Amino acid sequence: MVAPLRLLAVHAHPDDESSKGAATMARYASEGIDVLVCTCTGGERGSILNPKMDRPDVLENLTEIRRQEMDKAREILGVRQSFLGFVDSGLPEDESEPLPEGCFAVQPLETAAAPLVAAVRAFRPHVIITYDDDGGYPHPDHIMTNKVSVEAFEAAGDPDRYPGLGEPWQPLKLYYHMGFTRARFEALHEAMNDRGIGSPYADWISRWEDRPQKWEVTTRVHCGDFFEARDLALLAHATQVDPDGSWFVCPRELQQEVWPTEDYHLARSLVDTEIPEKDLFAGIQADDASPARR
């Protein structure tokens, strides 16, 4: 029997997996691909963004509640999930404010990357998905997540690096999430206006005026049939997601019609593939990956 293909998604906090690439993961999991989410921190310093959950009992037990939410989201998406054990860095209001001692974003790179290297060697993914080098947005934990993901991709297959963390394994492709692009939001904005639905995206679009897109979209994964699973996984993170908030203003059916894909940038590839792609595993066979550096 041929072993299944394997996909590793690396995220900063619980809930990030449900707002970035969730439908992709649900689709691949439904097709028999083994999907693992590695969550770098426990989200301990996250703000409560759902007014209905802004209660003293929730604040007192936020760490455990966020783990429970993650477990619900994981079950909805049909994936596996593991916490890497670091502490949330928080998002300072003032960039000059120092980050908390011992948090994820202030760790030396090799310290921060070591648990992910071990996870890569144990899980043996063919593909890794993560954030771009700006973190998708400039949260210090998101930026560090990119750094450790790139480090693990480059180092996990090298037997001379990170000794004692398992047998070397070289992933074949590394992708950055590209879900929050101007083109996508302009398309949704126009479609909502055409149908007489009030669009919340005008302000978002205006912020892109002086921000050219850094990475091109190379890969569009059709996963509109799994947008419902994505939304349910988001709602499982009840402390972070307001069911009456902007995440759900655009009707799901309209999203499925106008933009039925989740989009990515192919940042590294050790296999031949043709751009544009429709599949994160384009160019890969299940037995292609080597346990040693190519």
* pLDDT at residue 210 in the model: 65
Binding residues: 13, 16, 142
Q: Is 294 within a domain?
A: no
Q: What's the average model confidence in pLDDT over 198-213?
A: 80
* pLDDT at residue 2 in the model: 59
What confidence tens digit (pLDDT) does each residue in 250-271 have? 999 999 999 999 999 999 999 9
Q: What's the average model confidence in pLDDT over 15-36?
A: 98
What confidence tens digit (pLDDT) does each residue in 219-254 have? 999 999 999 999 999 999 999 999 998 889 999 999
Q: How many structural domains are present in the chain?
A: 1
Q: What's the average model confidence in pLDDT over 270-287?
A: 93
Binding residues for Zn(2+): 13, 16, 142
Q: Is 200 within a domain?
A: no
Q: What secondary structure letter does DSSP report for 210?
A: T
Q: Is 44 within a domain?
A: yes
* pLDDT at residue 96 in the model: 75
Q: Is 187 within a domain?
A: no
pLDDT band at 46 (very low <50, low <70, confident <90, very high): confident
Q: Is 195 within a domain?
A: no
**Which H or E run includes 120?**
helix 109-123
Q: Is 204 within a domain?
A: no
Torsion of CA 161, 127, 72, 62, to 10 degrees: 40
Domain containing residue 90: 6-180+216-269
pLDDT band at 288 (very low <50, low <70, confident <90, very high): low
Q: Which CATH number fits the domain that encloses residue 27?
A: 3.40.50.10320
Query: Residues with Cβ < 8 Å from 275, sequence gap 6 or more?
Result: 218, 219, 266
3-state DSSP call for residue 25?
A: helix
Q: Is 235 within a domain?
A: yes
Q: Is 122 within a domain?
A: yes
Does residue 170 come out as left (phi exceeding 0), alpha (psi in the -120 to 50 range) or beta?
Answer: beta
Q: Quick count: other Cβ atoms within 10 Å of Cβ 247?
A: 16
**Residue ranges with strand state E in the chain:** 6-11, 34-41, 80-86, 127-130, 173-177, 219-222, 261-269
Residue 1 has pLDDT above 80, yes or no: no
- The CA angle 81-281-188, to the nearest 5 degrees, is 80
88 φ, ψ to 5°?
-50, 135
**Residue predicted with more confidence, 293 or 188:** 188
3-state DSSP call for residue 190?
A: helix
What confidence tens digit (pLDDT) does each residue in 98-131 have? 999 999 999 999 999 999 999 999 999 999 999 9
